[in-house]
Structure 1
């Protein structure tokens, strides 16, 4: 029987340039979900500092990134829980790097991923991982991959990870309802929610994987009126979105049955096809029905 993993979607409302306060808030949520037996807690992109690169002091607020990374390692070991601490912004010369980590339940860093596909305004501040390949890695939950926010829009990133064996792909995100032009927003004020809800589930189906999507949320008192998109969820084949949150800060715990991914692959044979020598997008008729 395939394992069932408890995954905590920790949808935080980050306060700009307040890493100490934001860490304490995140740690409180992680302690709460660890007490409920969760195997993995995933936080949003930019959860320590928010995204305010033009604010005076933003770079200074990122300089203690190693202190917080080590705090998360200590927390993971203490609570025996794996943690994806959203993303942590790290200074790199005059630029910045946006980094996601996977920390194992023993406190070891299993993977480090630098955001590849930068959202257009980010390109003035961040350095992309450019042509580095996407790689999956082994964890206590099996083989996992990391992507960040706008990477969600690139099917190629998912394909590269599943070709390397990833079954769970974690996507920490900082995505708002107004991340488009006024003209785009006027077409449909719910357009970004439609984008996220559609794409997360589509990526899960087309890759026979689980997509752990965790976005930043708005303050609880503003609820659905916030400009933060929220909508953290686990996208799965067959079931669709599990544990989907609204737009305010909060937490959702999802029981991910890995048997669902096995059934999906047996039905859709995506990985099987991709592993075939000479695989390509064209199909030819199989004349021997015994091979179907």
Structure 2
């Protein structure tokens, strides 16, 4: 029989650019999760900063990312719990490799912001790192650097082979299939997905369109890949566009736990990974993907004749 794991999904409201305050709140949730016996705690994307890339203080707030990564490593060891600290936005410059540490005009133009998810073990060791690949339109592409053509990594963890995605990655089934082929059965997805991400035309048809997107897509991904998903989204005050809906879901059952549409909170749930094995026995998705003659061995390239 496959193991059962106790998972904490944390729906946090990141106060804009109040990094230390947001960290302390996240740490309180994680300590509470540990007291409830959770083996893994997952936070949302942008949980330290919120997303205000045009604010002059945003880059400054991302400069101390190493300090907060180390704080989460220490917290994981202290609480004996694995942590995926949502994403941490990292400011990098070419000057990091300059022993003088002096920024030149050329260095200033080479600054990069990376949106990074880490998997930290209960001993404080970093077991995995993923840089967000699929950036959300010009809103993110104008500020963040994508992992682009780098392969999607899969990590060995106390929960087996784990894949990590971030927010808009959810929309691309290719990302899941790439990691399923590497043995991933559990996916962790930190997210900052709001109801306002929908266009005016979409909102006119359904003000909750993005909630429909999230609920349907998460359940579909579990079925079509015979996998389980831990999805941690940001929450916030009603009327501010926060979508929430953080959940742990699996094939057959859909959401095992699902938080509300916007408020902060945490749920600790038992995830029985035998559900994943039972679904695979029935649907044989991973078995088909592993076949040498599988007919969907394809790649999207600029040279093909398809019209997307």
Q: Do Structure 1 and Structure 2 share a fold, with TM-score over 0.5?
A: yes
Unaligned runs of 5+ in 1: 283-292
Kindly indicate whether residue 283 of structure 2 is the aligned counterpart of residue 265 of structure 1: no
Query: What SS class does the counterpart of residue 169 from structure 1 fall into?
Result: strand
**1:160-171 → structure 2 map (5 Å cutoff):** 160-171=178-189
Q: 2:124 aligns with which of 100, 107, 114?
A: 107
Q: 1:143 aligns with which of 161, 165, 176?
A: 161
TM-score (ref. length: structure 2): 0.89
Please give the per-residue CA displacement for 1:166-222, whole angstroms capped at 9, x wherever unaligned.
111000000000112222211210100000000001001100000111100013xx4
Separation of aligned partners in 1, 2:200 and 2:19: 31
Separation of aligned partners in 2, 1:122 and 1:61: 17
**How many Å apart are 1:278 and its aligned residue?**
1.9
Separation of aligned partners in 2, 1:145 and 1:231: 20
**1:32-181 → structure 2 map (5 Å cutoff):** 32-93=32-93, 94-120=111-137, 121-181=139-199
Q: Is the 8 A contact 2:36 2:268 kept in 1?
A: no
**How many Å apart are 1:92 and its aligned residue?**
2.5
Separation of aligned partners in 1, 2:176 and 2:230: 12
**How many Å apart are 1:2 and its aligned residue?**
2.0
Q: After TM superposition, where is structure 1 displaced by more than 6 Å over at least 4 residues in a row? A: none
Q: 1:202 aligns with which of 214, 217, 220?
A: 220
**How many Å apart are 1:9 and its aligned residue?**
0.5
Q: Which residue of 2 aligns with 1:251?
A: 266
Please give the per-residue CA displacement for 1:246-278, whole angstroms capped at 9, x wherever unaligned.
121100112100111110000010111111112
Q: Kindly report the root-mean-square deviation, in angstroms, between the aligned alpha carbons of the 2 structures.
A: 1.1
TM-score (ref. length: structure 1): 0.93
Task: Name the count of aligned residue pairs.
Answer: 278
Q: Is the 8 A contact 1:226 1:248 kept in 2?
A: no
